[in-house]
Structure formats: structure tokens, C-alpha cells
Amino acid sequence: MQEQERPVLPIFIVFVALYLVSQWLRAETHKKMTDTISIAYLKCLQWRGGWWWSAVPKWSTKSRRRLQISSVLEAVAELVQLDYMIGRPIRIDPYHVAVVRTTLTRNIGIRFSDILDEISTAFSEVIPAGEGEWTSVPVIEAAVKIICSSSNRLFVGLPLCRDPDYRRLTEEYASHVFEGAHIINVFPPLLRPLVGRYLTKVPLTLKHIKLHIGPIIQERLAMDERYGADWPDKPNDYLSWLLDEAQGHQRTVHDLATRLLAANFASIHTTANAFTQALYDLACHPEYVEPLREEVESIVGSKGWSKESVANMRMVDSFIKESQRMAASAVLMNRKVLRDFTFSNGVVVPAGTHLAVAVRSMHFDEALYENPDTFDGFRFMSMGQEGGDTSKHSIAALGLDYVVFGNGRHACPGRFFAVSEIKVMLAYVLISYDVKFPDQRLRPENIWFHGICSPDRMAEVMFRKRAT
């Protein structure tokens, strides 16, 4: 008897349809969750939507201590399916995080002129505006390109940081990771390695990225082998700093490439989103242009461009911090609870629960911020002046009322680099261009997906080169 044909296509279509509906439902639920958290800021919320979530209602030093029985890596591993989408080495031994926190951060000043050079080169590439004429630019696309180049100047150096194919692949990689994680999360754990390998775009992207960075890593490994840790003209970049710390099986193309990609994943879209939000705020609040421009021109005019000059741009810092306050996602600081524990208000959190801090509710809490719904670009500068300690209110400073970069042991180790990049970019825009929205349009609405707030992906801003 002829074997009956299996209805593979209909099953596949039904599966895809179910998957899309489940994604839509989850997006809807997350949107509701955001609203609910805003309303029920003081109530602990538990909700089942694939995982258990709780929003830590009031973030305090006490709850921070309690959360030490929780794991950030386990939470992130589930959210982005780390093992299959980035690589297991990241979870097993995250030594690359310490390299970002220490060596990379220490080198921002030393490598500052290269970062500035990359930013100005990338700006002239993505904004080909002639002097005096207005050019419309899709901001997020431009920001991703500029940040991809400037970050990779520090990660792997020239010429790779300007290679169009490498840039495209690294820019796309983060989106492929998120898409892939959504697909993998629909399947039972047993099937996930296969799904990760065959149903997502990540393996192919990784393969292509390795064609670019593989030979560079091999060459550096060979030089290390030959001369030891110090050799003539050894590049001073993240890849070299990783190599300085890598032990035994970590000294392979695969392991080092994985960690380079992790840095790209953590930095490009986060920083591009933050810059885009700040630029939208600048374009729709033209009253800030003159005071900000004056600050930048006076500092750069007297001291030139340097890490210290950028650190002294307090108004620019405050403006970006306020922009990020208003652009906060519903929750941040995801943690997975490893052992059962009870909060002081009696809420029991079983092992396996995903916890997060209700950052948006915190940022719009009248008890913490006066007129929280109003954009006040110099809010944090005034807070610093009142308290007599401006650095305490700078964007990179950690606090319990503002957790855009997290808090505690796992607070973003790349925040000093990210803040330097965004400040340089905004300062560069201020002195080089006039900006406005086309047709006097209002600020583009933010986009919400799974509780994450992102800037409008399509909006354009007009740039006009200023006379030099």
C-alpha cells in the first residue's frame, strides 16, 4: 500500500499561526502589564505568561540584598536563550564582563581620540548634508551604524570596524538573537538545541561573522603563542584585553568570537536607542539647543575634546538622563530566583520565579520626581546643584531611584563607555548641525513590545550642516 502523504505543510502553517497568535497575546499582556505596574506600583504583582513574573514594587537596599539569592545570568539565559543564540561559554564563565568593567572602562580616555574619529567619520557617512541644506535622516538606522563603527573601533579596531559586511552582520545579529529566542521559547527544552540550530537565522549569521573575525583572532593567538602576552604593535582593543585574560580552552576562535559578539549584542542597540531618544527630545524641544550648544562650545573651545571634557558636560549629561528617565521600559533588572524566599510584606517568591524592578513606575513616581510627566532637560543638573554633588546625579551614577543601567553587582559594566559615546554624539550634533522634525511634526510615539520601550524605528529628523 502506498504510504499516506503526511500533511507537513498544513501542520507547519497551523503551528506558525499558533505561534504568531501566542506572540500577539504575549505582547498585549505585556502592554497591560506595563499599565498595571504603573497603577499598582505598590502592590506586588504576579502573573503567568510563559514565565512567572513579579515586579519588585519598591526597590530598596534591603530587597537588593535579598535578590542576591537570585541570578541575572539564569534570567537572561532564558530570556534570550543564551546557550543557543550567543554561546554557552558566556554563561559558564562570564569573565568578559569583568574585562568590560575594568580594562575597557580604563581605556576610554586612552582610546578617546579613536572613538571621536570613528564617530565623526561615521556621521559624515550617514548624514551627507551639505552646508546650509536640510537633509532628512532615518535616525535609528543612522545611530546603529555610527555606534556599530565606534564600538567596534574599540572592540576590534580598524579596518574591520568600517567593513560594510561585518557592520551589517553585527547590526543584524541582535535582532536575530531576539527573534530566535522567541522561536526557541515556544518549544520544549529537549528540542531547543535543534530549533536554535535549524529554525533560527543565528547560526548562519555567526558563521559569516566568523569569516571576518576568525582570521584576526587566529593571527592574535599566533602572535601570543610566539611572543607571549606583550608583542610589538599589539592592538590596544577589547579583543586583546580578552586574550590577556583567556585561559586554556578559552583561547579559541569560537570562544573569543562569542565574547566579542556578546559585547556587540549588549552595546549596539541599547546605545543607539538611547541616542535616538535624546535626539528626538532635542528636535522637539528646540529651547534646549542654545544652552547645550554653549556648554559644548565653551568646553571644547577651551579644553579640546577628551574624556574629561565630555565628563564636564553636565547639561548634556542631564538632558540625556532625563530623556532616558522618560523612555524607561516597564521593568528592568531581570533575575531568576534560585531559592524560595519571602519578602518583608509577606509575598512568597518560589524558586524559579522571574523578578524584575518596575523601573517605569519608579521614574514616573511623583514622590521621587517633581512633575514626572514633564520633560525637564536640566532636572538632574538642578538636583546635583541642590545636593552639592553633581557627579551623584550624573547618568552613569547608580542609584535606587534611577536604574536605567541596573544596580548592584550586575549593573551595566559598559555604562561609562555608552555614556561617553552618547554624549560625544549629541555634542557633535549640537556643534555640527541644526536639527528639526520634518513639517513641524510632534515627537514620534515610542514603540512598546514585551514591556520594552523603544524609539520609533521609522521617524526621520532633518539635519542642516552649520557654517564652520
**Which residues are documented as binding site?**
412
Among 81, 150, 240, 271, binds ligand HEM (CB under 6 A): 271
Query: How is 263-285 classified by DSSP, letter by letter?
Result: HHHHHHHHHHHHHHHHHHHHHH-
The minimum distance between CB 414 and ligand HEM, in angstroms, equals 2
Interface with ligand HEM, residue 431, by CB under 6 A:
no
- Residue 81 vs 407, nearer CB to ligand HEM: 407
Interface with ligand HEM, residue 260, by CB under 6 A:
no
The minimum distance between CB 132 and ligand HEM, in angstroms, equals 33
Interface with ligand HEM, residue 89, by CB under 6 A:
no
Q: Say if CB 152 and CB 171 are below 8 A apart.
A: no
Range 325-384, binding ligand HEM (CB under 6 A): 332-333
Interface with ligand HEM, residue 196, by CB under 6 A:
no
Interface with ligand HEM, residue 278, by CB under 6 A:
no
Interface with ligand HEM, residue 140, by CB under 6 A:
no
- Residue 195 vs 353, nearer CB to ligand HEM: 353
Interface with ligand HEM, residue 72, by CB under 6 A:
yes
Q: Which residues contact 113 (CB under 8 A, 6 or more apart)?
A: 305
The minimum distance between CB 409 and ligand HEM, in angstroms, equals 7
Interface with ligand HEM, residue 169, by CB under 6 A:
no
DSSP 102: I
Interface with ligand HEM, residue 417, by CB under 6 A:
yes
Among 67, 100, 119, 239, binds ligand HEM (CB under 6 A): 100
The residue of the chain with the least Cβ separation from ligand HEM equals 414
Among the listed ranges 40-48, 113-121, 164-172, 260-268, the one in contact with ligand HEM (CB under 6 A) is: 260-268
Q: How far is CA 21 from CA 16, 18, 24, 391, 407, in A?
A: 9, 5, 5, 47, 35
- Residue 76 vs 292, nearer CB to ligand HEM: 76
Among 86, 148, 263, 337, binds ligand HEM (CB under 6 A): 263
- Residue 184 vs 425, nearer CB to ligand HEM: 425
Interface with ligand HEM, residue 265, by CB under 6 A:
no
Interface with ligand HEM, residue 405, by CB under 6 A:
yes
Interface with ligand HEM, residue 274, by CB under 6 A:
yes
User: Based on the number of CB atoms within 10 Å of its own CB, is 162 exposed (0-12), middle (13-18) or buried (19 or more)?
Assistant: middle
The minimum distance between CB 413 and ligand HEM, in angstroms, equals 5
Residue type, 226: R
Interface with ligand HEM, residue 266, by CB under 6 A:
yes
Among 161, 279, 404, 453, binds ligand HEM (CB under 6 A): 404
Q: Say if CB 323 and CB 363 are below 8 A apart.
A: no
Q: What value, to the nearest 5°, has the Cα angle with vertex 355 and ends 332 and 65? A: 95
Residue type, 297: E
Q: What value, to the nearest 5°, has the Cα angle with vertex 162 and ends 422 and 146? A: 20
Q: Say if CB 407 and CB 65 are below 8 A apart.
A: no
Strands 45-49 and 452-454: unpaired
User: Based on the number of CB atoms within 10 Å of its own CB, is 414 exposed (0-12), middle (13-18) or buried (19 or more)?
Assistant: buried
Among the listed ranges 41-49, 304-312, 410-418, 426-434, the one in contact with ligand HEM (CB under 6 A) is: 410-418
Q: Which residues contact 276 (CB under 8 A, 6 or more apart)?
A: 139, 140, 143, 455
Residue ranges for the binding site for heme? 412
The minimum distance between CB 277 and ligand HEM, in angstroms, equals 10
The minimum distance between CB 415 and ligand HEM, in angstroms, equals 6
Interface with ligand HEM, residue 270, by CB under 6 A:
yes
Interface with ligand HEM, residue 69, by CB under 6 A:
no
Q: Which of 159, 143, 148 is nearest to 213 (CA)?
A: 159
Residue that is written with C-alpha cell 544596580 in the block? 407
Strand order from edge to edge, sheet including 354-357: 45-49, 51-56, 354-357, 332-337, 70-71
Residue type, 390: T
Q: Say if CB 279 and CB 189 are below 8 A apart.
A: no
Reading the block at residue 418, the C-alpha cell is 555608552
Interhelix angle 415-432/112-126, rounded to 10 degrees, is 50
Residues in contact with ligand HEM by CB under 6 A are 72, 97, 100, 263, 266-267, 270-271, 274, 332-333, 404-407, 410-414, 417-418
